[in-house]
Amino acid sequence: MAHVIFGREYPEQNDAIVIGSGIGGLVCANLLAEGGMKVLLIERHSMLGGFCSTFRRKGFLFDAATHFYPLLGNPTTLTGKILHDLGIETEWVKMDPVDRFHLPNLPAFAVPADFGEYLTKLKDWFPEEAAAIDRYFAELRQAYLYGLLYYFKGVDNEQARKLERFTIAQKLDEHFHDPRLKAVLMADAPHWGSLPNRTSFLFDAMLRLSYFLGNYYPRGSSQKFADDLGRGLTRRGGKIVKCTGVDRILVENGKVSGVRVRTLARRASQEFVFKAPIVVSNADSVHTYRDLLGEEHCGRWMIEYLESLTPTYPCYLMHFGLRGMDPKVLEAAEGYHWSSYDPGDAIRNVFKIFVPTRFDPEMAPPGCQILIVQKLTPLRLEEVTDWAAHKAEIDRRILERLRQVLPGIDDHVVVRLSASAWTSFHYTNNWQGAMLGWEMSPEQLGSARLANATPVENLYLVGHWTQPGGGITPVIISAQRVARAILSAGKTQADLASQYFAFHATVSGRGRSAASTRAERVRE
């Protein structure tokens, strides 16, 4: 039997259902379909991609959020190889420099794409710390290798265990004296959606060094990448239904049995049930456990535990469509702008400028450019009562700084839009509008991060709220891990089950105390 949704037929019975079309959901769906399963992917939005989607205004194509895609254009890397093997046709534009940092009383620091050049540049700028730079990067290399084994491959090792408790800021303090050098080495840390003194050194090491294997932008925008993954799925016989939200995960005798969905178009909403012996949720984990599964299947403790964890901060965005700006001036302005060397500045004044038309000019009309500003905003959704006033205030602060960096920019603006934490939540369902799921702090990673397996048999999680963590590379790893477990239906599935028990053992004591601490905070 088939259901007809928006004029198209979708089989009621499937081998696997994937909820959500973030990159985690799309890659997992592709891998399952490649493994021979009949996959149905259900997305509530009209576009695929979650945080990797775009929108169009006045001929400008704007990325809604993500723009750095480490490794994906390099088929010799872990995640680049997954896309290559799946035949995903996205064209990747390599970035060089990888990033640019603007710090007080220092010239702009452009990070070369070549690691040797980067190291030489750091030593040229800070000769008195040359020996410490060598020692730091020797440790960082170890952290990168053992971190990959630990977080991405699930191989427990002593070196990673030694390093996992440190934050970025702690390690920088341990190795260096010069506050300017420390500032250069943590300048891009806001991309973790948190503070450098809260973010794991070990987890960060993996991304920091992966940039030198290639950092990329997808030609044609993030949406092109998401849509290419969607095409890969349909090529493999998978079905995609959009504008349709899952509102219940169905469970029979402790095993997942399907989902109930509701169409979300303007006309009267319709309800359908789709069946499958396997369900993978790429939706936010609080939403998955609390709203879609319900405490009767996971226990009240799990929901309270999740609500007690620290999410990453939401990222405020301003999108500008510009006409007639000098591309060289825009290029020079790209990167992170700090107003002090204090790690706390990451959530106060730091903002980032990105100019996607440098990598693909066709995303704007001829003679025009796109400029995107990102800024972490430390807030919880329930704290803001007047979103219009909130946006006006943040816009004002960003514009004030932007006018100093790019004098006369106002004369070039064709379109200007902004997106708050609420926008992120509204379009992707990410709890608190969080940028990368739970904060990548030492105590929220490894076995303490939400497991990919769940207490319900054959229900799995992929994406940035689950193991190994947030960001494009980790969510692809989560997808690969879950797809492998499902397709092997043997040893790796047992590994995921033990991962759940390890998570349960790690947090069950902590869960209740963390939940009661939060309850106390709320009462206060």
458's tokens: 């054959």
Stretch of 45-53, 115-123, 152-160, 499-507 lying at the interface with ligand FAD (CB under 6 A): 45-53
Nearer to ligand FAD by Cβ, of 8 and 161: the residue is: 8
- Amino acid type, 425: F
Cβ atoms within 10 Å, residue 105: 6
Cβ atoms within 10 Å, residue 239: 21
One residue of 210, 282, 357, 452 binding ligand FAD per CB under 6 A:
282
Dist. CA 440–CA 310, nearest whole Å:
9
Residues of span 181-240 touching ligand FAD by CB under 6 A? none
Instruction: Find out whether the peptide bond into 196 is cis, omega within 30 degrees of 0.
Output: no
37 lines the binding site for ligand FAD (CB under 6 A): no
DSSP string, 39-91: EEEE-SSSSS-GGG-EEEETTEEEESS---EETTT-TTSHHHHHHHHHT----
484's tokens: 């492998």
82 lines the binding site for ligand FAD (CB under 6 A): no
424 lines the binding site for ligand FAD (CB under 6 A): yes
Nearer to ligand FAD by Cβ, of 178 and 307: the residue is: 307
One residue of 263, 285, 374, 420 binding ligand FAD per CB under 6 A:
374
471 lines the binding site for ligand FAD (CB under 6 A): yes
66 lines the binding site for ligand FAD (CB under 6 A): yes
Dist. CA 27–CA 407, nearest whole Å:
42
Write down the least CB distance from residue 256 to ligand FAD, Å: 15
One residue of 472, 477, 482, 515 binding ligand FAD per CB under 6 A:
472
Stretch of 145-153, 168-176, 250-258, 424-432 lying at the interface with ligand FAD (CB under 6 A): 424-432
Nearer to ligand FAD by Cβ, of 242 and 412: the residue is: 242
Sheet strand arrangement including 315-323: 109-111, 99-102, 335-337, 351-354, 368-376, 315-323, 413-419
Nearer to ligand FAD by Cβ, of 129 and 334: the residue is: 334
Closest residue to ligand FAD in the complex (CB): 22
319 lines the binding site for ligand FAD (CB under 6 A): no
Helices (H) and strands (E) in the chain, counts: 18, 22
Residue 279 dihedral angles phi and psi, to the nearest 5°: -130, 135
Contact 223, 54 (CB under 8 A): yes
Q: Where do the DSSP E strands lie in 449-495?
A: 459-461
Nearer to ligand FAD by Cβ, of 133 and 195: the residue is: 195
Stretch of 72-80, 121-129, 295-303, 465-473 lying at the interface with ligand FAD (CB under 6 A): 465-473
Q: Contacts with ligand FAD: how many residues (CB under 6 A)?
A: 38
Nearer to ligand FAD by Cβ, of 220 and 471: the residue is: 471
One residue of 185, 330, 459, 475 binding ligand FAD per CB under 6 A:
475
Spatial CB neighbours of 464, under 8 Å, sequence gap ≥ 6: 22, 24, 436, 437, 470, 471, 474, 475, 478
Interface positions with ligand FAD (CB under 6 A)? 19-25, 42-45, 50-52, 65-68, 245-246, 282-283, 287, 315, 317, 374, 424, 428-430, 435-436, 463-464, 470-472, 475
